[in-house]
Every structure is written in C-alpha cells, then in structure tokens.
Chains A and B, each alone.
Chain A
Amino acid sequence: MKIRGKILFLAGAMTALGAGWAGFPRVIYRSRPQPVDFSHKVHAEKAGSQCEDCHAFRDDGSFAGIPALDKCAGCHAAAMGTTAAEKNFIEQYVTPQREPQWAANARQPENVYFSHAVHVKRGQVKCEQCHGPQGSSDRLPPYQVDRISGYSRDIWGAGGRPGMTMDDCVACHQKQGLEHSCLDCHK
C-alpha cells in the first residue's frame, strides 16, 4: 500500500499549505481599531483641506506626521457635524485633553531613517504614490499588527500587496537609480 503513504504525505502537505497560506495570516496578525473613525474624504471635501494642512513640514524639514490633538481641537472644539464618530471624538479626546493613540501603519523600526522632506520636496513623490488614495478615503484602512514583532502588516496603503520590509523601498530606489549606501536609509 505504498500509495497510502504518498497520500498521507500529500495530505499533510496540503494541510500545511492551507494552514500556512490561509490560516497563518489570520492568526499572526491582530486587528486594532483606530481610536477615532476619521474620514479623510469629509475633511478634504467639506473643509477643503489639503494634505499639507494637517501633515506639515517643520522649518528644519522634519515631518510632523499625524497631527496632535491641538490641530483637531482647533476646529472641533464644538461639534461641527452630526456624526456619532465626531461626537465620540469630542467626548473622549477633545474635552478631557487626551491625545488619541493613533496606530501608524508606516511606523518603522528604530534603525530606519526615512525623510519625508527628501522624498516629497526633492524627489517630487506624491503622497498617493506611497500612501494610496488616503485623501479620498472615507474610512481609515484597517490596522493590522503582527503579534510577535509589533510592526504593522502593511506600511503602504496603496492597495497593492501588503508589505513592510525594505524590499519595496529598495525596488523604487533601484528604478530611480538612487541606490548608494545602506546608511542612506539606516541610522
């Protein structure tokens, strides 16, 4: 009954493949909801905001990232619309002066150096190229974090294959002919 052995082997392989490809991602990643159900679309359309209004550069070129509570409270000291999400935001964060603990998809390890100024101002890379159509999205992309390493599953948001390794960065740099030295991107 040699065939029986082969079938069992194959069965094992199939199970593992299924578990590894379909089951493993479900298990290894944990979904975390963002503190506020923020809608970029509403702010872009109704408030006429551009990316730079909230995600600004400082004088020395450093990037301010996700805005702090002051920026939001500047307009949202009182409710400006009728959504439950906004009401929740004002009650939970604006009134008690509590900073929302945003989960940044693009958060990099400590040894990675990424400069928005160099990419946006010198490289003329558009926000959408890396972050995808965030500006016109009605809901924030779901934040999935690796249970063991603590990093997010997808640092992009451009809707392609989720990735968080340096391969994607290197691919673009190679295409642009800008690959020089490891220390260009590492600290």
Chain B
Amino acid sequence: MTTTRRDLLRFAGGAAFGAFLTPAPWRLITDTALWSENWPGIPRPARGEIRTKFTHCSLCPAGCAVRARCVGQQPVALAGVFGGLCPFGVTAHHLPYHPARLRQGPVKEAAAAVAAAIAKCGPRERVAVLDLRPGRTASWTYRRAMAGVRNGTYIAPAQPPVSVNLANARTVLSLGAPLLDGWCSPANAFAARDRFRLIQAEPVESRTASLADTWLPIRTGSEQALALSLAGALDTRDAAERTGLAERQIVDLARELKENGPALVIDCRMSQNVVALNVDLGSWGRTIVPRPEAPVPAAWKTAAPPAELAAVPDGSIRVLLIDESAPGEYLPWNEIQKKLVSGNPLVVAFACSREGYGQHAQFVLPAAAFPEVTDDLPAAVDAVAPGFRLATPLIPAPDGLVNPVDFVAGVAGLAAPDALRQRADAIHASGKGKLVTYADGKSAAVKEVKADEFWKALNAGACWTGDAAQPGRAPGRDFSPAAEAAVPALTAVAAELAIADSPLMSKVYQESNLRLGPDRVAMHPRSARECGVEDGAKATLETSAGQRRVEVMIDSGICPGVVLVAARPGFEPGQAKVVRI
C-alpha cells in the first residue's frame, strides 16, 4: 500500500486534533504573550532596598529641603521636607539623564587656553569670573581666586540687599513678583499665605495674580511709577496715567498699606525704590530685614569684592569664566559682550547644557547636574536669619565633568580643596544658632554638637540657622525717579520661570496646555492682528535674548500689547517683535 496524500492529511488532522488536547499550543500562546511583555526595549524598574536620603535642591536659590526616596543608591522620587516642591524640583532627579546634558568637554584645552590668555593679558585687561548665583561658598572661592590674580574681577548680578519676612506681613503688594509661583520657596509662601492679603500688580493675570486677593492690571513697565506714588514721591495723577489705574485705586492702595500693616512690598529683584517704599511704610525690621549671611573664615575676608557688570569698563575683559552650573539670574549677553576685549576674548562657560552662555563661549565645560552637585545654597530671599545648607550629591557624578570651583582656583593658583568644610567649621566655631536634622526632625544647639558631627549632619540632610541679626538702622528713603520710557508696541513678558526641566515636564507643556511651552507664545487677538498672525500661526519671536521660532496662541484675556513667552536663559522683559514666518 502506497502512502497517499490523503493519508498524510488524515494523520496531520489527527495530530492537530490531538495537539489541541495537549497543553502545547495553549502554552505556546501564553508564552508568546509573556515573552512580549518582557521583550528587549521594555525597561524594568530596578529592585532593591528602599532608602531615604536628604539634600537641598540646587535648581534655584530657594534651595528647598528635599527628601529623596531611593532604590539602593538611585533616587526615584523627590518630595519636600517642609512642604511641596515646585514641579521642577519634583522631577530634578531626571536631569542627569536629560538628552541635552553635557558629559564631555575639552577640559585640558580650555585650561591651556586660559593660562595662555592670562599670560597675554595687557595692563588694562582683566580676568573675570561671572558667578550667576553669588552668595555661595563657591562664590567666596571665586572672589579669593580673583583677589590672587592680577586684575582679577569677580562679577555677579546685583543681589537684593534685603530679605523679606513673609510670616510677619499682613498686607503684601507684589509688583510683578511671582510670589506664589516660584519667587521664594513654595513651602514658605503657602505656609504664610493665609496670614496676609495679597495684591498683585502686573500686566498679565499670572498664576500668582489668579490666586491673589486682588489683581491690579497695571501697564508694562509702570511698576516703579506705582511704587513711587505710593511713597508720595510721584504725583498720583501721573502714576494713574502711567499705570492705567484709576487715581482712587492708587489712593486706596496706599491707605491699605498704611492701615493694614505690617505691609510688605516686593518686586522681582527688590529694587531700590521698593526697598525705600518699605522703609517708608515702617516695615524695616518687621517685614524687611538686612540680607543675612552665615559666618565666613576670617582668612577669606581679603577676597575681591563683587562688582556689577555695569561698573566694569567696556572692552576690558580678556578672559571670562562663567559659572552657569548654579543658575540664577542671567545677564543679557549683549551687555556682557560689551565688556569683552575686541580682539580674541576667551570665554569659558561651565554648564550642564549648551543652551545658556554656551552658545557664545569658546569652551563649554560640563559641570555636575543636580543631584550630583556638592554646593551650598545662598541665603534665600525670604531667609530672615543666616543659614547654611548643603546640596549633597545623591548619586556620583560621571567621569569627565569639571568642578568649576576647582578649575578657577587652579587658574589662580589657590588651594581651596575643602572650602565647604572650612566654612562649616567657621560656622561651628561661632557657637551660635541651631542645627535641624531632617531624618529625625530634631533641633540641637550648635554648642552641643562637635565639629565633625556638625559636618556629617549637614551632609546627611540638615540645615544650620543662625540668630537673626538686629535690623539696625533703616536705610534712607532714597527714591530714584522712574524715567518715563516710551511703551513699546509689543512687550514680551515671561509667563514661566526658566529653570532646568526634566523630559517629564512635557506633561505641562506638550501633553496639556497648562504652562506655556518653550515654543509657544500667547497674545491678545488685537496684538496678533497688528503683527499679522492668527491662532496657530508659526512666527519668529525677537527679544533681547535673541530670536526663536514659535507658535502663536490667541487669548483675549491677555493684556493687549503684551506677548507672553516662556522665559529662557538671558530673557529680559522688554520690547519684542513677532513676525510671521
């Protein structure tokens, strides 16, 4: 009997029938599904012991205390110790893995170039360090380094000479400062919120304005005029004209500040007029106090004094070292450029990405990103007493990074390997103040703690708070008149603060419209018509910080004449142009 095809088919049929009565095909289906759950490309969370570590967030000078939930050594979630963190702080542990993060840089070449340029410095040329976040221990090291270099200059953005005491305030007038959206530590602002009435005076209805008790929609650039008129240094009618408010509103506001004290007036930088207005309202020593600073080793006092950029002669800087790794206020590049020598200035930027001054520097050297940094935080704008808090690294920094402090100290031949420890020792030696450790929430007087324990505690998550100094005599009521500048047809105003953001911030920019994304602007329909753009149009935004391609959104709730932008490094509110592409 020959085997026919039908025989084979019968056999196969039987085999198929029998196979389905065995576990084999069902197992294979299940296994394929299980395999697809774990096939290459699907990441797996690491397993390990859950630990808690403490540090301070170094993304902005508020320096909120952070509790990190770690799997093994790796932080997987951050939370505030005294309250909530801002969204940037919540996602800060992602920054080391940001695609734009710099990992490598020409360190040796930069060092050689700097040494060569310094040697070539002419008699009227100088070497300068630009420190975007002054007031740190690193800043002292830069100042000491510059004191040791011939014609060394230490430049930093001017810091407010005062701190504010929100806890004491009953009425707060904010001239455009985002008090409830990042001006100071969110935990502090909201802890004090229920105790004061907030009047927000600014052209756009910002987040702070929407939560304030009153929003005064004043014209762009008229904050100083309002401050002056509240102090009686400017005629109310003039102020009403400039701000666009009714005279009666200004009079009522002045009365409220006087009668519902203690009052506090703030603006973004605590400008001279605002400080003087506060003094005029009797707030000195109550809601504004001198800016405190933690003790410093006596040997450091010979450090170079901070200079403002404007005070540096034009065309005099041959070598400029910019520490952008601890960002604060960005000075506009065109202002900086004026101070560089015309022929071959050398600019070295220490940064975590190329987006800031890296665009203009000859060398961009990679610095540690949070949470890899070791740094201290300067006194925050709402720090009433001197404080010392460390941002201690939660994970080790990768190889190839540069510590800007070591680099600059090396350039100046200054040996300053453990400046932070020296500072901590000096603070401990002063015997004043108390140490609050976060792990157990306990507070101990510094006198009762040994120097080594003090240092260890600071590194494990603690803060030192000194005694608030006596406020002393109030500064004089020096008002500087507000020049009446022509109001530009279109003014760019920042809707968001520029802080490093994790890829997860796409939730608030791209996957929702909660915050204005970096590639979007918002305008009133009338302003948009004047610029020739409509909703969704692609356009170029020109501001003092440069040009950018953006998409336009129309919103009739925005002040006409204002274009809302998401602030980037170097952004200054001011004249803007939106040109359709």
Contacts and interface: CB of A to CB of B under 8 A. Distances in A.
Does B bind A?
yes
Interface of A: 4-5, 8-17, 19-21, 24, 28, 58, 60, 62, 64, 109-111, 146, 148-151
Contacts of B302: none
B49 A12 contact: no
A146 B49 contact: no
Given A15-B14, A19-B24, A20-B23, 18 more contacts: A5-B7, A8-B7, A12-B11, A12-B16, A13-B17, A13-B18, A13-B21, A14-B14, A16-B14, A16-B18, A21-B23, A28-B27, A110-B37, A111-B37, A148-B28, A149-B30, A150-B34, A151-B34
A123 to B, nearest CB: 22
Nearest to A151: B34
Given A8-B7, A24-B27, A109-B37, A62 B49 contact: yes
A149 B18 CA distance: 24
B334 interface: no
Nearest to A17: B18
Contact of A15 (B7, B15, B21, B49): B15
A8 B10 contact: yes
Contacts of B35: 148-150
Interface string B37-64: 1100000110001100000000000000
Contacts of A5: 6-7, 10
In this complex, the member of B24, B35, B44, B49 whose beta carbon has the largest number of chain A beta carbons within 10 angstroms is B24
Contacts of B22: 16-17, 19-21, 24
B34 A24 contact: no
Nearest to B9: A8
Contacts of B246: none
A9 B14 contact: yes
Interface in B161-210: none
Contacts of A58: 49
B11 A8 contact: yes
A20 B10 contact: no
A111 B31 CA distance: 16
A23 to B, nearest CB: 9
Interface string B1-14: 00000110011111
Contact of B34 (A14, A20, A64, A109): A109
A16 B6 contact: no
Contacts of A19: 19, 22, 24
Nearest to B19: A16
Interface of B: 6-7, 10-19, 21-24, 27-28, 30-32, 34-35, 37-38, 44-45, 49-50
Contacts of A14: 14, 18
Contacts of B21: 13, 16-17, 20
Contacts of A21: 22-23
Contacts of A110: 37-38, 44-45
Contacts of B28: 148
Contact of A24 (B17, B23, B37, B50): B23
9 contacts: A12-B10, A12-B18, A14-B14, A15-B11, A20-B21, A24-B23, A60-B50, A149-B31, A149-B35
A8 B23 contact: no
A145 to B, nearest CB: 11
Contacts of A10: 14
B18 A150 contact: no
A21 B26 CA distance: 12
Contacts of B14: 8-16
Nearest to A60: B50
Contacts of B15: 12-13, 15-16
Interface of A is mostly: helix
Contacts of A8: 7, 10-11, 14
B18 A15 contact: yes
A30 to B, nearest CB: 13
B72 to A, nearest CB: 12
The 8 residue pairs across chains A and B that have the minimum distance between CB atoms: A20-B22, A12-B14, A16-B18, A13-B18, A149-B34, A9-B14, A148-B31, A12-B15
B11 A9 contact: yes
A109 B14 CA distance: 36
A11 B12 CA distance: 9
A147 to B, nearest CB: 8
A14 to B, nearest CB: 7
A110 to B, nearest CB: 6
A148 B14 CA distance: 26
In this complex, the member of B14, B24, B27, B37 whose beta carbon has the largest number of chain A beta carbons within 10 angstroms is B14
Nearest to A146: B31
B10 to A, nearest CB: 4
B38 A150 contact: yes
Contacts of B24: 19-20, 24, 28
A111 B44 CA distance: 11
A20 B50 contact: no
A28 B34 CA distance: 14
A6 to B, nearest CB: 8
A62 B71 CA distance: 12
A7 to B, nearest CB: 9
A16 B20 CA distance: 9
A11 B23 CA distance: 19
A58 B17 CA distance: 53
A16 B16 contact: yes
A150 to B, nearest CB: 6
A146 B49 CA distance: 28
B12 A12 contact: yes
Nearest to A5: B10
In this complex, the member of A10, A17, A21, A58 whose beta carbon has the largest number of chain B beta carbons within 10 angstroms is A17
A166 B207 CA distance: 49
A161 to B, nearest CB: 12
A12 B12 CA distance: 6
Contacts of A13: 14-15, 17-18, 21
Contacts of A15: 11, 14-15, 18
Nearest to B52: A60
Given A21-B23, A150-B35, A62 B50 contact: yes
Contacts of A17: 18, 21-22
In this complex, the member of B13, B16, B22, B35 whose beta carbon has the largest number of chain A beta carbons within 10 angstroms is B22
A35 B10 CA distance: 48
Nearest to A20: B22
Contacts of B19: 16, 19-20
Contacts of A9: 10-11, 13-14, 17
A74 to B, nearest CB: 17
Given A11-B11, A62-B49, A110-B44, A20 B18 contact: yes
Nearest to A15: B15
